[in-house]
């Protein structure tokens, strides 16, 4: 592009043009500078197509910029800054302290957002020597902050609010409000406060009514005359029958009508290998394949959850203990956990830790010899290895942010702390980690969502909130509201939920509605609705793998 001789710092002051108009050399330099910043400080994470001006002062303890966000020239940014996607910090803006921005927050030039303050309790001590206080500032989604605004510590700005130029904001700004003045007051409404949550509750209730009416056809759609398939034409799996049982329990209060209750129980119990207690996968013809049984690198560990909980929903249980896990003993359990790939692949590790914990549940109910030793070893290992920074276990993989870390935490905590009613070691750090992860547009923008990723945010927030009920409560509600709004849009009439959000163009297999997606999204919707205090309108409560309450209280 051509510029005038007086515009040699064009992109520093107009960074929204950078990725469309800058030359390849400038783009390569920006990418390398961002990479160097992240190498120098592991607490700095910068998303895709972000821009940070070289003439800004960015002095961060911790920074996470969501995709397509930018910091313009002569901005002064210090402390902790966590942003969603499409956020702007324009020229000469000051952002200091612990500041959290939602998605699409636009901040005008010369604005100051100061999330700390000096105390002045001791009149005989110079102010600059007195202690600081820091409450933090939170700004919701789709907020426009005008130029020359001042926002002081402790303020929360609600979603879709607007702050007029020159305003001094000393108190919380309601969602949808337009505020102006010194001090800023509500002058009018961008979005009127006419009970938007009540409206959401109405839509949630309507969804449940629709799903309840359509579930018989959805179950029939996946029945091939002999067995349940995840979706028409899919290969046989153990899980499909289990998902059918849980869906029917949610929405029908009974069993899938294709079989009588005792036949469901007989089929599921008959899948278990008596010697190991494991469940072999099915081959292409739907026959058990014993060669596929193993404690890692197979489907068998997850079947401990899916089959065990389907039987539990049906009022039954496995015929045999899960001997393959019970025989490990304390030392074997510790060795098993230690060998899992927590560094770089924490989702895989959490998957197998979940199976271990759930095998422990079924074995405790049968009073097996090794169950107590397994319990001590499992919780001892998890407690000792909880990362004090994240509240989770392991380290994430490369290229996917905290996706593996958070998803692995859901799986491991589901089979341990949640399943046995044990308080989390660091619930506030869990909430911090999950809320930061939920800002990743590449996973949580509506068109990018899948049931695994959303469930693995919803359940940890629900679980951690029990142990830290007031911590970042407004932010949790905001995330829950956004995700719940999106979740309702994924339903396909007469077919249920796909695992992954359907988009235009050719569909991937995961975008075809099936039993797995339907069961998971039903659980997600309950968890999100419960975070918002409206789950009662659904008329169901997950009762299987994704049950919210403990299956057993450890030590009781």
Task: Give the pLDDT band (50/70/90) at residue 504.
Answer: very low
543 assigned to some structural domain: no
Please say whether the dihedral angle defined by the alpha carbons of residues 231, 447, 303 and 552, taken in this order, is positive or negative.
negative
408 assigned to some structural domain: yes
Residues 462, 339, single domain; the answer is yes
Q: What is the per-residue pLDDT across 425-449, written as a single tens digit (0 to 9) for each? A: 999 999 999 999 998 888 998 889 9
Average pLDDT across the chain, whole number: 92
Orientation of helix 238-251 relative to helix 261-269, angle to 10°: 150
3-state secondary structure 421-437: CCCCCCHHHHHHHHHHH
546 assigned to some structural domain: no
Angstrom distance (rounded) from CA 350 to CA 410: 8
Angstrom distance (rounded) from CA 89 to CA 111: 9
- Gyration radius of the chain's alpha carbons: 26
Cis peptide before 331 (omega within 30 of 0): no
121 assigned to some structural domain: yes
Q: Are 323 and 275 in contact (CB under 8 A)?
A: yes
Domain-terminating residue out of 173, 189, 205? 189
90 assigned to some structural domain: yes
Q: Are 426 and 413 in contact (CB under 8 A)?
A: no
Q: Token digits for 120?
A: 């002045």
Residues 65, 147, single domain; the answer is yes
| Closest alpha carbon to 71 in 28, 34, 120 | 34
Q: Quickly list H helices, 299-402.
A: 300-313, 323-326, 329-339, 346-365, 371-384
Q: Are 237 and 245 in contact (CB under 8 A)?
A: no
At residue 139, the pLDDT reads 93
> Phi, psi (5° rounding) for residue 82?
-120, 120
Residues 165, 257, single domain; the answer is no
Measured in Å, how far apart are the chain's first and last C-alpha atoms?
Answer: 71
Range of the domain at 354: 196-538
Angstrom distance (rounded) from CA 399 to CA 475: 26
At residue 540, the pLDDT reads 93
Q: Are 428 and 391 in contact (CB under 8 A)?
A: yes
At residue 506, the pLDDT reads 54
175 assigned to some structural domain: yes
551 assigned to some structural domain: no
The CATH number linked to 142 is 2.160.10.10
Residues 182, 210, single domain; the answer is no
555 assigned to some structural domain: no
Q: What is the per-residue pLDDT across 22-67, written as a single tens digit (0 to 9) for each? A: 899 999 999 999 999 999 999 999 999 999 999 999 999 999 999 8
Residues 140, 273, single domain; the answer is no
Only one residue has tokens 């019970």, namely 326
Residues 142, 202, single domain; the answer is no
Q: Are 140 and 151 in contact (CB under 8 A)?
A: no
Counts of helices then strands in the chain (DSSP H, E): 18, 19
Domain-terminating residue out of 163, 189, 215? 189
Residues 36, 98, single domain; the answer is yes
At residue 159, the pLDDT reads 86
Q: What is the per-residue pLDDT across 391-418, written as a single tens digit (0 to 9) for each? A: 999 999 888 899 999 999 999 999 999 9
Q: Is residue 146 scored above 60 in pLDDT?
A: yes
Looking from the CA of 32 toward its CB, the CA atoms found within 13 Å total 6
Q: Is residue 197 scored above 80 in pLDDT?
A: no
Coil, strand, or helix at residue 187? strand
Structurally, the chain folds into a number of domains equal to: 2
Residues 163, 215, single domain; the answer is no
Residues 203, 109, single domain; the answer is no
At residue 121, the pLDDT reads 73
Q: Is residue 196 scored above 50 in pLDDT?
A: no
Q: Is residue 556 scored above 70 in pLDDT?
A: no
Average pLDDT (200-213) is: 93
| Closest alpha carbon to 438 in 64, 31, 58 | 64
Residues 170, 203, single domain; the answer is no
Q: Is residue 259 scored above 90 in pLDDT?
A: yes
Angstrom distance (rounded) from CA 209 to CA 377: 45
- Our CA angle for 267, 273, 276, nearest 5°, is 150
Residues 269, 147, single domain; the answer is no
Burial of 371 (0-12, 13-18, 19+ CB in 10 A): buried
Q: What is the per-residue pLDDT across 294-341, written as a single tens digit (0 to 9) for each? A: 888 888 899 999 999 999 999 999 999 999 999 999 999 999 999 999
Residues 216, 173, single domain; the answer is no
Domain-terminating residue out of 134, 158, 189? 189
The CATH number linked to 335 is 1.50.10
Residue 282: DSSP 8-state: B
């Amino acid at each position: 592009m051509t510029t005038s001789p007086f515009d040699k710092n064009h992109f520093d002051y107009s960074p929204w043009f950078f990725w469309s108009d800058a030359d390849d050399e400038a783009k390569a330099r920006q990418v390398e500078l961002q990479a160097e910043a992240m190498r120098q400080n592991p607490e700095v994470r910068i998303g895709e197509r972000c821009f940070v001006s070289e003439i800004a002062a960015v002095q961060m303890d911790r920074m996470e910029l969501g995709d397509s966000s930018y910091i313009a020239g002569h901005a002064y940014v210090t402390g902790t800054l966590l942003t969603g996607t499409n956020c702007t910090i324009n020229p000469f803006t000051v952002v200091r302290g612990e500041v959290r921005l939602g998605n699409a927050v636009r901040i005008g030039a010369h604005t100051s957002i100061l999330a700390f303050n000096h105390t002045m309790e001791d009149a005989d001590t110079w102010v600059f020597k007195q202690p600081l206080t820091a409450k933090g500032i939170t700004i919701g989604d789709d907020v426009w902050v005008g130029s020359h605004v001042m926002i002081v510590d402790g303020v929360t700005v609600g979603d879709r609010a607007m702050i007029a130029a020159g305003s001094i904001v000393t108190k919380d700004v309601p969602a949808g409000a337009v505020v102006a003045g010194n001090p800023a007051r509500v002058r009018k409404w961008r979005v009127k406060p006419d009970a938007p949550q009540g409206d959401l509750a109405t839509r949630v209730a309507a969804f449940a009514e629709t799903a309840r009416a359509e579930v018989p056809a959805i179950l029939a759609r996946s029945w091939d005359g002999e067995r349940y398939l995840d979706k028409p034409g899919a290969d046989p799996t153990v899980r499909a029958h289990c998902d059918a049982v849980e869906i029917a329990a949610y929405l029908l209060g009974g069993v899938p009508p294709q079989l009588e209750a005792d036949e469901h129980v007989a089929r599921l119990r008959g899948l278990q290998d008596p010697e190991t207690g494991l469940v072999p996968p099915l081959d292409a013809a739907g026959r058990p394949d014993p060669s596929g049984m193993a404690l890692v690198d197979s489907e068998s560990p997850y079947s401990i959850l899916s089959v065990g909980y389907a039987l539990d929903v049906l009022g039954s249980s496995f015929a045999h203990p899960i001997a393959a896990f019970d025989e490990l003993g304390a030392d074997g359990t510790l060795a098993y956990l230690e060998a899992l790939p927590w560094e770089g692949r924490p989702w895989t590790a959490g998957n197998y830790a979940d199976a271990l914990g759930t095998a422990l549940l079924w074995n405790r109910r049968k009073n097996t010899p090794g169950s107590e030793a397994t319990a001590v070893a499992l919780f001892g290992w998890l407690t000792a290895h909880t990362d004090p920074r994240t509240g989770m276990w392991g380290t994430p993989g490369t290229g996917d942010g905290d996706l593996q870390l958070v998803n692995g935490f859901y799986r491991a905590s589901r089979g341990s702390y949640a399943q046995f009613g044990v308080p989390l070691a660091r619930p506030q750090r869990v909430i911090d980690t999950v809320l930061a992860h939920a800002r990743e547009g590449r996973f949580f923008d509506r068109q990018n969502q899948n049931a695994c990723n959303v469930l693995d945010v919803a359940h940890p927030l629900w679980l951690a909130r029990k142990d830290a009920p007031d911590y970042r409560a407004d932010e949790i509600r905001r995330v829950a509201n956004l995700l719940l709004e999106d979740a309702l849009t994924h339903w396909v009439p007469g077919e249920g939920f796909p695992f992954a959000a359907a988009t235009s163009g050719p569909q991937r297999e995961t975008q075809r509605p099936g039993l797995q997606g339907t069961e998971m999204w039903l659980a997600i919707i309950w968890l999100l609705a419960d975070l918002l205090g409206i789950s009662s309108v659904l008329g169901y409560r997950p009762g299987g793998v994704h049950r919210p309450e403990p299956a057993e209280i450890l030590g009781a």
